Amino acid sequence: MSSHQENTIMSKWRGGALAFLLAVGMPIAAFAQNAIQSINSSQQGSSDVVRIELSEPLAAVPAGFTIQTPPRIAIDLPGVSNALGRSSVELNQGNLRSVNVAQAGDRVRLVLNLKQAANYKATVQGKTLLLAIESSGPPPAAATPTEQPVRFAESLNTNPLALKDIDFRRGNDGAGRVVVELANNQVGVDIRQQGQSLVVEFLRSTLPDNLRKKFDVTDFGTPVQTITTSQQGDRVRMMVEPRGSWEHSAYQSDNQFVLEVRPQKVDPNKLTQGPGYAGEKLSLNFQNIEVRALLQVIADFTNFNVVTSDTVTGNVTLRLKDVPWDQALDIILQAKGLGLRKSGNVIWIAPKDELAAKEKADLEAKQQITSLEPLRTQSFQLNYAKAEDVAKGLTGQSSGGGSGSGTRILSQRGSVIFETRTNQLFVSDVPSKLEEIQSMISKIDVPVRQVLIEARIVVADDSFSRSLGVKLGATDLRGLRGGVPGWSVGGDNRVSIGGNLNAIGAQTRQTTATNVTFSDAQFVNLPAIGQGGYDPATFAISLFGANSNRFLNLEISAAEADGKGKVVSSPRVVTADQQKALIEQGTELPYQVATSSGATSLQFRKANLKLEVTPQITPEGGVILDVDVNKDSVGQATAAGFAIDTKHIKTQVLVENGGTVVIGGIFEQSDRTDVAKVPVLGDIPVLGNLFKTTTKSSERTELLIFLTPKVVTDRVVAR
């Protein structure tokens, strides 16, 4: 090959190489040719203007968004690099603090740090990007809870009235309820949150001396720790000190005001805890932006790291202004059918189906590990619970030993053996289950609180009776003395007279006849009825003429009885929480019962005093009692045996610790008036009392049953 040909080939090769290098290098030069040269600021009227000098003009006005707290403005410049040599520019002019320049791939983000939130307007003038930040007046002073309380109820009272009572209770959901008994339903109430405390003020109210104190309610297991009440001028101030994450609500029912403080439910996948959305507010205005890029925008202004699955694709167009960032993220996820899982400050975003499949795979993997993991055996010493009962609970059996509807706590490979003599459990299972069982036993094997139940059964009776009666008769003895024969009224009760004449049975008369009889007649015989087991008292008189031949006999009888009695029975029993207790005392009465063969057998029936009760201690410290009380006594005798007088009550009642409640009572009153009289004659005013007998009776019986439960402590024993 000649040198001329060689030079020609080399020239062609150099030209091709140069063309190749130019073709490859031009995109790189085009990509790197636009860069930020300088950033400065100035004030124009009431606005702050930021000038960003670029090496090349921008094709369009860049997009951006604002953040309220902390106040920021973010501008994205695609295809622009940072040629400043630093990532931060201090301005400190007007509302501006500084500008941060962040390089991310093929774009630059400018973050303008402001002193207070403001809007902006972006314009492009050649190679300069102008950001005009609107100046706003001084920010309004943040209203502190003390300055702007929430008026719960208006005060309609003219004069201050005293609060009646303050009580604290625990709700089923672990909420603490402060119950205040108001003087009436016109008391004004203000509620405000002061730091981590709640302040409740009752307007135009006074506080009794017994309520001016600090209530320690830590033992109730609610967010509320202490309640402090004090008098502040013409109002009562109540300071409620909760702990942890909580939320409150209040309501009033007639004269009762209730403040409820509930623990906040923590959702591990919720970005900000509490009701609704509580993230920093931002504004977004994008047209057809990729979802992955939009998620990166949100991640840059939060404390979370975002991991986006490769299956997240698509574009979205949105315009949001002053929206919490967690709500904006929720809107984006719902629009694209995505879900998230949070672990610490890392958020994993993927399609919902992918998340569900991942969780299912994790659970299946755990189940496989459990089925292959070697077993361990661990012993548990129980101090208060019975090992047999706990063992049956672990295997899902009922306490009676049969197969119950309980859930098996042990794994399918697990087993348990209980030792009654030493009260121990020997459990064989995987280590994770053993830890779960250990935690469960620590909560089960605790001493059970005991309750002392005192009952007083009072039976009181009051009886009164009165009876008045008369006997009236007359006798004529003229026929016995030789005169005109006399007359006789009533029955003929003849008395033989020999020497002495007994006219009434108490009076003796001398007569000349040797053997005569006379009629001792009683034409009204209505004597009084005996009372209280005693005969009535009597008073008798006889009226006769001058010659002692005619007699009028009158006998008055009367009786009155008054009786009062009271029987007090006081059974007392101690039992464990939710354990039935029975105490009884009485008599067993025998009676005969015929059998099928015709023979008779002897059986017994109880006439006794019985108290059967099952207590349940509530979280608030009260006691729920299932009560069955009998007060039987031996009644009257019958042909088949003695009857039994029964008094019985069965009920359920809630009583505060140490309080007394009347669970029942029976009141009986019987009034009766009986009159026996001679017709017509007994109806004559005043004089008619000689022709009748009157009996009046009144009887009252009252039964009352009192119950007093007391939670037994180490210092309290049954007396």
Cβ atoms 425, 418 nearer than 8 A: yes
The DSSP H or E segment spanning 441 is helix 431-444
**E-strand stretches of 401-536:** 415-419, 424-429, 450-476, 494-497, 500-502, 508-510, 516-519, 524-526
CA-CA distance, 386 to 422, in Å (whole number)?
10
> How many angstroms separate the first and last alpha carbons of the chain?
130
pLDDT at 202: 92
- Number of Cβ atoms within 10 Å of the Cβ of 514: 8
The DSSP H or E segment spanning 542 is strand 537-544
pLDDT at 504: 40
Q: Is the pLDDT of residue 7 over 60?
A: no
Residue percentage of the chain with pLDDT more than 90: 13
Tokens of 300: 């840059």
Of the candidates 631, 577, 299, 316, the one whose C-alpha atom is nearest the C-alpha of residue 455 is 631
Q: Which carries the bigger pLDDT value, residue 626 or residue 506?
A: 626
Half-sphere exposure of 455 (CA within 13 A, CB side): 26
Give the β-pairing of 81-82 and 35-44.
Answer: parallel
pLDDT at 419: 92
Burial tier of 420 (Cβ tally within 10 Å: 0-12, 13-18, 19+): exposed
- Number of Cβ atoms within 10 Å of the Cβ of 708: 17
What's the pLDDT band for 473 if we cut at 50, 70, 90?
A: confident
Give the pLDDT confidence of 50-76 residue by residue, as tens digits. 989 999 888 888 888 787 767 888 888
Beta bridge partners of 377: 428
What's the pLDDT band for 479 if we cut at 50, 70, 90?
A: low
Of the candidates 286, 283, 290, 326, the one whose C-alpha atom is nearest the C-alpha of residue 308 is 290
Mean pLDDT, the chain, integer? 79
What's the CA angle centered on 404, arms 401 and 405, to 5 degrees? 160
Coil/strand/helix, residue 624 = strand
pLDDT at 206: 92
pLDDT at 117: 82
CA-CA distance, 114 to 48, in Å (whole number)?
11
Q: Is the pLDDT of residue 498 over 50?
A: no
Q: Is the pLDDT of residue 662 over 60?
A: yes
Q: Which carries the bigger pLDDT value, residue 284 or residue 511?
A: 284
Residue reference for tokens 């972006």:
122
Cβ atoms 593, 585 nearer than 8 A: no
CA-CA distance, 278 to 258, in Å (whole number)?
27
Give the pLDDT confidence of 276-329 residue by residue, as tens digits. 677 788 888 888 888 888 888 888 877 788 889 989 988 988 888 888 888 888
Q: Report the range out of 16-20, 398-402, 462-466 with the highest average pLDDT.
A: 462-466
**E-strand stretches of 207-253:** 214-216, 224-232, 235-242, 246-253
Contacts of 514 (CB under 8 A, 6+ apart): 498, 499
Q: Report the range out of 71-85, 467-481, 587-601 with the highest average pLDDT.
A: 71-85
Q: What is the mean pLDDT of residues 242-255?
A: 84
Q: Which carries the bigger pLDDT value, residue 397 or residue 237?
A: 237
What's the pLDDT band for 338 if we cut at 50, 70, 90?
A: very high
